Amino acid sequence: MTKEQRLKKRHSAERRFRFYGIASICVALLFVLILVNNIFSKGSSAFMKTVIDVEVFYDPELIEIENGASEENIREADFYDITIETLLKSYPAKNLDEENELIDLFTTDAEIEIKKAFLENNNLIGKKINLEITSSDDIDQLHKGNYPRDLPEDRRRISNFQLKIYDTLVENNKINKNFNNYYFNNGDSRDPELAGIGGALVGSFYSIIICLLLAFPVAVLASIYLEEFAPKNKITDFIEININNLAAVPSIVYGLLALQILLATIQLPRSTPLVAGITLALMTLPRIIIPCRASLKAVPPSIREGALAVGASKFQSVFHHVVPLSLPGTLSGTIIGLAQALGETAPLILIGMVAFVVDIPSTPIDPSSSLPVQVYLWSESAERGFVEKTSATIMMLLSFLIVMNFIAVYLRQKFEKRWN
Amino acid sequence: MSNEHTVKSYEEELQFLVDSVIKMGSLTESQMVDSMDAIIKVDKDSIDKIIKSDDEINKFRSKIDTQIMTLLVKRAPMAIDLRETISSLKISQDLERIGDLSKSNAKKVKPLPLDLPEELLSNLKRLGELVIKQLNDVLDSYVNKNYDKAKEVWKKDEQVDDLTYIAMESVIDFLSKDKKNLDFSTHLIFATKNLERAGDHITNIAESICYLIKGEYLKGSRPKGKVIQE
Amino acid sequence: MNEVKIKSNNLNVFYGDKQALFDVNLDLNEKEVTALIGPSGCGKSTFIRCINRMNDVIDICKVTGNIEIDGVEINDENLDVVSLRERVGMVFQKPNPFPKSIYDNISYGPKIHGKGETKSELDEIVERSLKKAALWEEVKDRLDEPGTGLSGGQQQRLCIARAISVNPEVILMDEPCSALDPIATAKIEELIDELKKTYTIVIVTHSMAQAVRVSQKTGFFHLGKLIEVGKTEKIFKNPDNKMTQDYITGRFG
Ligand SMILES: Nc1ncnc2c1ncn2[C@@H]1O[C@H](COP(=O)(O)OP(=O)(O)O)[C@@H](O)[C@H]1O
Ligand SMILES: [Mg+2]
């Protein structure tokens, strides 16, 4: 082979390699794009809700309370009659069937919304106000264009009469889209238009905080001890191998462990962030120890020697120099570990976090859900409204993960010292 | 363990330097032989040739100087190498001076009458032979790195001094017989003195060789003949 | 000749099964520079690391025999290594300033030893150490800049200043100039010359010329044995041992 031929061959090999590289990146990007596009197109509409403009008359005859009644009294009072009255006024219905169908256009929480408006304004008795009542899930989906209206009537959940009302309301500009505060503030619900991730968010938050509080100090101390102080012998080698193994153990195994020990033996309350936090901490521990030890290892021995040579003790050299220098790596490892824990579903399902929980947990020992489990739950539900909620929740989860990873990268780049 | 330098060219450079000194030495030796011959035979034709050969010796000297400087800069020689380098510097210096003395002796031949009495020259001839022998021996000891032989030479300088004294005496005797001899007798005295000086340089060379081999100077002062002691 | 400051007696060092030093008997004189030379891996670093017990850090390293400083045995289980290292400073092959400010680099040692209680005392120690290390003029206006931002030679002088800051009696230097350019090397050598008035210095070097320039005494190690030790001048002009001669003249094969 001549020199030119060899050169040509080498060049074409390099070109081929570059092509393969770029091609595989493109394929990966394509899948990410498809995924993101799919989630976004399905999920983004969940952040809006459909509302119907109605006029509420707080009729003193229908209302059971006096002007200036205490808040407590109002909360206990019955607004049912006013609500029915209001909803029926929004469109003329001829018979009881039609009236029922008309009321079905609104959310089951219409009474609560009317009561809330009453609470927020003083002295509404005998007055009329315009209020935007959340529509039912079917109307919501219809308005967002997710509902096929050209099906025969017997195969649709929306009757012809309801469609007629909807069209009239649209014509009169009575139907609008508003920011969906329920999605963020509410707990789970059987009614898609009322279901929200509030409970899951708080549950996840508690779980992660507990996980952090348990896993971080233990992991950091364990890695400092193993890396800096422990004698290098068979036992520590064995521990090292097992930590690496633990990091690779499927998360569901931790769920089983928690089920057996935390729930069955210790009898901690089921479905709670406390148990979730402990379980996730167990799972995250080796995943933090590994990057933590790596960043301790990355501190050059010359720094340790430098400290020892001026007469620092082993302890001082580690805690004055090595640990501060390894902190950026440690923190970013921790955050990435927590991000993984945040997305973990399987062990939480085992410890009963799949339970249907409406109330937003106020303490870590209240039953609760968590974001990934909520995704799992909603993806199982039949109603169309839950499809967009599933995607929206995935979006939320992804954005938390992205933010956490970004913080990790930022910490590392900002504070990592460069060794000459 | 080999005795070779890890850097081959270093070894070669050092060897080249030593070879140069050896060549210069044999050149100086043959020049001295020639100049002694010229004096003894009062051979005025060979004077020019001897003077010319001194030029060559001088050239050798400056060549060796350059080699030494290059070696010092390039290799920063240590221990035995350092001593080798420095002693070749010193030996080449002494050789050059010996060359100068031979040249000066050759020049002395010009004013000499052709009919010099035999007994006047016999002692000078013996002295010359001794110095030539010394030079030969010292060069030998340099080539073979022979400490004992060098020390022998160093010790034998005493004999050179004594013979110088005797040779001087005979010239002065001759001179005192007839003041007319003054003219060329002075030249003969100078030639004798030159041989004695050459002997001193040879001793220096012997000292350098001893230092080169053992790394220490010969102890005690060199044994001196009567002429010097005066 | 000055008095003996450090005395090693039948010093043997093992790394696991491998013996790194064999019966080393070496005396180091007070306020003098001793150079240690020898091919890589012959145990020079191992030897000087015995003097401040730096080998303790290495699990597999075992040291037998004696080392005395001022007649006091230091190879002793009960000896407090921290106070030993306060007396025996060390400078490494690669400059290793802490990734902290120049000021903090110097003040760290005094701080942990409780020297310099007040800020002004510390200031004074920092200034004195930097001056002694001939670095003060170059850095006095930027004491709060990171030490790692200095040039290699300056970093090494910073490390020397750091070693000086705790007022040691002995300074060990393990190839302190091997990562430096000739000018920086010359500065360090000049500094060593100055420092030897106050401290006992041991320097490991691969440069024969440097050993000749800075030291009064030289020891030659080979395969873990101290082959020859003597006045530097003697070692480099006319060593007694053939191996020494072969090493310094580059005839090792
Ligand atoms: N930490 C260590 N573990 C095992 N062997 C070591 C260690 N440090 C040095 N050695 C061995 O000890 C010998 C001497 O090393 P060292 O003192 O560093 O040599 P030098 O400084 O003269 O180059 C070498 O053979 C080396 O392999
Ligand atoms: Mg070393």
Q: Which domains does chain C have, with CATH numbers?
A: 4-98+171-248 (3.40.50.300)
State which ligand 1 atom lies nearest to the alpha carbon of C174.
21
Kindly state whether residue B229 falls inside one of the protein's structural domains. no
Is B14:C251 a contact under the CB 8 Å cutoff? no
Residue C209 in contact with ligand 1 by CB distance below 6 A: no
Do B and A make contact via 3 or more CB pairs under 8 A? The reply is no
Of C244, C246, C249, the CB nearest to B1: C246
Picking from A223-237, B126-140, C14-28, which range would have the lowest pLDDT averaged per residue?
A223-237
Give tens-digit pLDDT for A94-130.
888 888 888 888 998 888 888 888 888 877 888 888 8
Residue B102: CATH number of its domain? 1.20.58.220
As a whole-number percent, the residues of chain B with pLDDT over 70 amount to 93
Q: Is the pLDDT of residue A66 over 80?
A: no
Residues with CB under 5 A from ligand 2 (ion): C 45
Q: pLDDT tens-digit profile of A356-388?
A: 888 888 889 999 999 999 999 999 888 888 999
Out of B6, B83, B216, the one facing C251 most closely (by C-beta) is B6
Q: With CB atoms and an 8 Å threshold, state whether A311 touches C85.
A: yes
DSSP state of A106: B
Nearest residue in chain C measured CA to CA from B3: C251
Print pLDDT tens along chain C (253 aa): 688 999 999 999 999 999 999 999 999 999 999 999 999 999 999 999 999 999 988 888 999 999 999 999 999 889 999 999 999 999 999 999 999 999 999 999 999 998 888 899 999 999 999 998 889 999 999 999 999 999 999 999 999 999 999 999 999 999 999 888 888 899 899 999 999 999 999 999 999 999 999 999 999 999 999 999 999 999 998 899 999 999 998 887 5
Q: Which chain C residue lies closest to B84 (C-alpha atoms)?
A: C237
Q: Which two tokens stand for residue B106?
A: 């050759």
Place of tokens 């006045």: C231
- Per residue in A312-341, pLDDT (tens digit) is 999 999 999 999 999 999 999 999 999 999
Provide the pLDDT confidence category of residue B171 given band limits of 50, 70 and 90: confident
Its ipTM equals 0.91
Note whether residue B117 is domain-resident. yes
pLDDT of B1: 40
Contacts of the segment A79-85: beta carbons below 8 A, 24+ positions apart = A79/A111, A79/A114, A79/A115, A79/A118, A80/A111, A82/A56, A82/A57, A82/A58, A82/A114, A83/A110, A83/A111, A83/A114, A85/A57, A85/A59
Q: Is the Cβ pair A306, C82 closer than 8 Å?
A: no
Task: Note whether C222 and C246 are within 8 A (CB).
Answer: no
pLDDT at B43: 87
Residue B223 lies in a domain: no
Residues of C in contact with B76 (CB under 8 A): 208-209
Q: What is the pLDDT of residue A420?
A: 43
Ligand 1 atom index nearest CA of C49: 17
Q: Averaged over A48-74, what is the pLDDT? A: 83
Between CA B58 and CA B70, with CA B64 as vertex, the angle to 5 degrees is 145
Cα–Cα distance, C80 to C86 (Å, whole number): 10
What is the number of domains present in chain B?
Answer: 1
For residue B229, what pLDDT band results from cuts at 50, 70 and 90? very low
CB-CB neighbors (< 8 A) of C248 in chain B = 78-79
C177: Cβ contacts below 8 Å, ≥ 6 apart: C156, C184, C185, C188, C189, C205, C207, C210
Q: Does residue B201 fall inside a structural domain?
A: yes
Inter-chain contacts counted by CB atoms under 8 A, chains B and C: 48
Sign for the CA dihedral angle at C50, C56, C60, C65 comes to: positive
Q: Who's near C149: CB < 8 A, 6+ residues apart? A: none
Nearest ligand to residue C54 Cα: 1
Q: Rounded to the nearest whole angstrom, what is the distance from the C-alpha of residue A307 to the centroid of ligand 1? A: 21
Is residue B225 situated within a structural domain? Answer: no
pLDDT(B147) > 60 = yes
B219 φ, ψ (degrees, to nearest 5): -85, 155
> Around Cβ A305, how many Cβ atoms within 10 Å?
17
Whether residue A311 and residue C98 make contact (CB cut-off 8 A), yes or no, is: no
A76-83 mean pLDDT: 86
Q: Which domain holds residue B89?
A: 8-214
Q: Centre a 10 Å sphere on the Cβ of residue A241 and count the other Cβ atoms it contains.
A: 10
Q: What is the DSSP string of chain C?
A: -PPEEEEEEEEEEEETTEEEEEEEEEEEETTSEEEEE-STTSSHHHHHHHHTTGGGGSTTEEEEEEEEETTEE-S-TTS-HHHHHHHEEEE-SS----SSBHHHHHHHHHHHTT---SHHHHHHHHHHHHHHTT-HHHHTT-TTSBGGGS-HHHHHHHHHHHHHTT--SEEEEESTTTTS-HHHHHHHHHHHHHHTTTSEEEEE-S-HHHHHHH-SEEEEEETTEEEEEEEHHHHHHS-SSHHHHHHHTT---
d(CA B11, CA C163): 43
Q: Is the CB of C46 under 6 A from ligand 1?
A: yes
Kindly give the number of the ligand 1 atom that is closest to the alpha carbon of C40: 23
Q: Which ligand has its closest atom nearest to the C-alpha of C92?
A: 2
Q: What is the mean pLDDT of residues A191-200?
A: 90
Q: Which residues of C touch A226 (CB under 8 A)?
A: none
**pLDDT value at position C123?**
94
Q: Checking phi first, is residue C193 left (phi over 0); if not, alpha (psi -120 to 50) or beta?
A: alpha
Q: Is residue B53 part of a domain?
A: yes
Q: Give the CA-trace dihedral at C218, C223, C225, C228, to 10 degrees.
A: -40
Residue indicated by tokens 């030495």: B25
Contact with chain C for residue B73, Cβ under 8 A: no
Neighbours of chain C (3+ CB pairs under 8 A): A, B
Please judge whether C148 and A417 are an interchain contact, meaning their C-beta atoms are less than 8 angstroms apart. yes
Average pLDDT value over all residues in chain A:
89
**C238 and B2 in contact by Cβ < 8 A?**
no
**Residue B93 maps to a domain:** yes
Q: What is the pLDDT of residues B89-123, one digit of tens each?
A: 999 999 999 999 999 999 988 888 887 777 778 88
DSSP assignment of B46-70 equals GHHHHHHHHHHHHHHHHHHHHHHHH
Neighbour order of strands in the sheet with C170-174:
C88-91, C170-174, C200-204, C33-37, C217-222, C225-231
Does B47 reside within a domain? yes
Question: What's the pLDDT band for B230 if we cut at 50, 70, 90?
Answer: very low
